[in-house]
């Protein structure tokens, strides 16, 4: 055991703990973490040194992280392999040259607390070429100071709480055996509204980044899943410009959108049959329906109204609202 893991162990013993499904979550500075996430937070805060040109993606769980990873990776990759002069490739040719065909987007954009800092307080990331692209589910308040004080950029993706919860319920059901069956949705609902979820309360997580994006719009770009679905050209152009890799014309934006679309990624062999070694999940678990309003298939009117009231009171005065 390292000194740092020993001190996290003793810290965990002092923290309030609640179970999310069968997973113990610890409350630290108002938000909830799995034990290994908390260890990774400590290591990240002690050792991660942001570069001025790092781009860090951030999100709560199940709000479109995989999509954002694919888009940002492709934007950087396309720019690196041709910049503004890159030719539009025929779709069949593109498949041969698109790394997303080989691996799930999480292989190219690694999550700091899941892939980079887990079991390794000192990962070798200083040799990575700039601009480095990482992802995290950490709340803004838990990020290392260097992320906040250097010029590095943050791109956050949020999603309406109802679809987030339903997506989460489907995702974690993948970890259950056929004998166990799906987790009771009513229990998952109560947990979510009470803030018991990974990095929850969801509302606090979203508000932290929302407020930062208002304070420093050149540093934090706040995207909504629903906007990306509704007007992908506008949102992807905004994203690419924010990343410093603006598109020359709309045809290239359309190609990028197609390349990273749910329909395409979901049907790639690697995502149909591959396994995510970090979470022990099938890659297919990350690609489902992507429907805005899918919550209607799960929630009673009473639940829907309750969640609306909570959302309204949490976001009141912030200027933040979601299409549901
Ligand atoms: P649903 O469960 O509603 O279908 P995350 O990547 O943060 O885990 O979020 C997963 C959600 O994003 C799932 O939503 C999934 O289907 C959707 N998703 C994954 N890849 C996507 C893509 N390329 N385009 C749109 N939605 C995508």
| DSSP string across 103-162 | S-HHHHSEEIIIIISTT-SS---TTSPSSPEEEE---GGGS-HHHHHSS-EEEEEE--HH
In a domain, 322, yes or no: no
The atom number, within ligand 1, closest to the CA of 264 reads 23
**Using a 6 Å cutoff on CB, does residue 169 contact ligand 1?**
no
Summarised one tens digit per residue, pLDDT across range 225-257 is: 999 999 999 999 999 999 999 998 899 999 999
The atom number, within ligand 1, closest to the CA of 63 reads 7
Spell out the residues 6+ positions from residue 320 whose beta carbon is closer than 8 angstroms to its own.
206, 207, 210
Q: How far apart are the first and last CA of the chain?
A: 47
- Could you read off the pLDDT tens digit of each residue along the chain, which spans 324 residues? 566 677 888 899 999 999 999 899 999 999 999 999 999 999 999 999 999 999 999 999 999 999 999 999 999 998 887 654 344 444 555 555 799 999 999 999 999 998 888 877 888 898 999 999 999 999 999 999 999 999 999 999 999 999 999 999 999 999 899 999 999 999 999 999 999 999 999 999 999 999 999 999 999 999 999 999 999 999 999 999 999 999 988 999 999 999 999 999 999 999 999 998 888 889 999 999 999 999 999 999 999 999 999 999 999 999 999 977
pLDDT score of 200: 95
pLDDT score of 324: 77
**Ligand 1 mean position to 7 CA, how many Å?**
36
pLDDT score of 9: 83
Q: Which of 288, 289, 292 to mutate to test the pocket of ligand 1 (most atoms within 8 A of CB)?
A: 288
**Using a 6 Å cutoff on CB, does residue 266 contact ligand 1?**
no
**Using a 6 Å cutoff on CB, does residue 288 contact ligand 1?**
yes
Asked if 243 and 151 touch (Cβ cutoff 8 Å), the reply is no
Phi (first) and psi of residue 290, to 5 degrees: 60, 30
Number of domains in the chain: 1
In a domain, 323, yes or no: no
In a domain, 147, yes or no: yes
pLDDT score of 277: 83
Phi (first) and psi of residue 110, to 5 degrees: -90, 145
Residue where the block lists tokens 């706040």: 222
In a domain, 324, yes or no: no
**Ligand 1 mean position to 8 CA, how many Å?**
32
pLDDT score of 120: 79
In a domain, 172, yes or no: yes
**Using a 6 Å cutoff on CB, does residue 63 contact ligand 1?**
yes
CA 1 to chain centre: 30
In a domain, 321, yes or no: no
Residue nearest atom 19 in ligand 1 by C-alpha distance:
287
Kindly name the residue from 37, 135, 137, 205 that is annotated as catalytic. Answer: 137
pTM of the model: 0.94
CATH number assigned to the domain comprising residue 196: 3.40.50.300
pLDDT score of 84: 43
pLDDT score of 4: 67
Known catalytic membership, residue 52: no
In a domain, 320, yes or no: no
Residues spanned by the domain of 93 = 3-315
In a domain, 34, yes or no: yes
**Using a 6 Å cutoff on CB, does residue 262 contact ligand 1?**
yes
């Amino acid at each position: 055991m390292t000194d740092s893991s020993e001190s996290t162990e003793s810290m965990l013993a002092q923290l309030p703990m609640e179970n999310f499904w069968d997973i113990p979550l610890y409350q630290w500075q108002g938000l909830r973490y799995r034990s290994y996430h908390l260890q990774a937070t400590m290591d990240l805060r002690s050792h991660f040194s942001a570069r001025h040109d790092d781009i860090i993606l951030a999100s709560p769980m199940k709000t479109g992280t995989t999509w954002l990873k694919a888009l940002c990776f492709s934007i950087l990759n396309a720019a690196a392999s041709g910049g503004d002069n890159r030719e539009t490739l025929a779709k069949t040719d593109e498949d041969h040259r698109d790394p997303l065909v080989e691996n799930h987007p999480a292989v190219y954009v690694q999550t700091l607390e899941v892939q980079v800092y887990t079991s390794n307080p000192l990962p070798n990331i200083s040799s990575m070429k700039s601009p480095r692209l990482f992802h995290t589910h950490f709340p803004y308040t838990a990020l290392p100071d260097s992320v906040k004080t250097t010029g590095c950029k943050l791109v956050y993706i949020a999603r309406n709480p109802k679809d987030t919860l339903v997506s989460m319920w489907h995702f974690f059901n993948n970890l259950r055996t056929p004998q166990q069956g799906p987790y009771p949705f009513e229990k998952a609902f109560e947990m979510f509204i009470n803030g018991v979820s990974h990095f929850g309360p969801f509302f606090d997580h979203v508000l932290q980044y929302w407020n930062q994006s208002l304070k420093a719009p050149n540093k934090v770009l706040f995207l909504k899943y629903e906007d990306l679905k509704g007007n992908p050209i506008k949102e992807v152009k905004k994203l690419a410009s924010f990343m410093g890799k603006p598109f020359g014309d709309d045809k290239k934006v359309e190609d990028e959108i197609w390349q990273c679309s749910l329909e395409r990624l979901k049907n790639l062999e690697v995502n149909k049959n591959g396994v995510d070694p970090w979470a022990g999940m099938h890659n297919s678990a990350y690609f489902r329906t992507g429907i805005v309003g899918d919550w209607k298939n799960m929630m009673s009117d009473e639940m829907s109204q309750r969640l609306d009231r909570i959302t309204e009171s949490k976001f009141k005065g912030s200027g933040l609202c979601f299409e549901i």
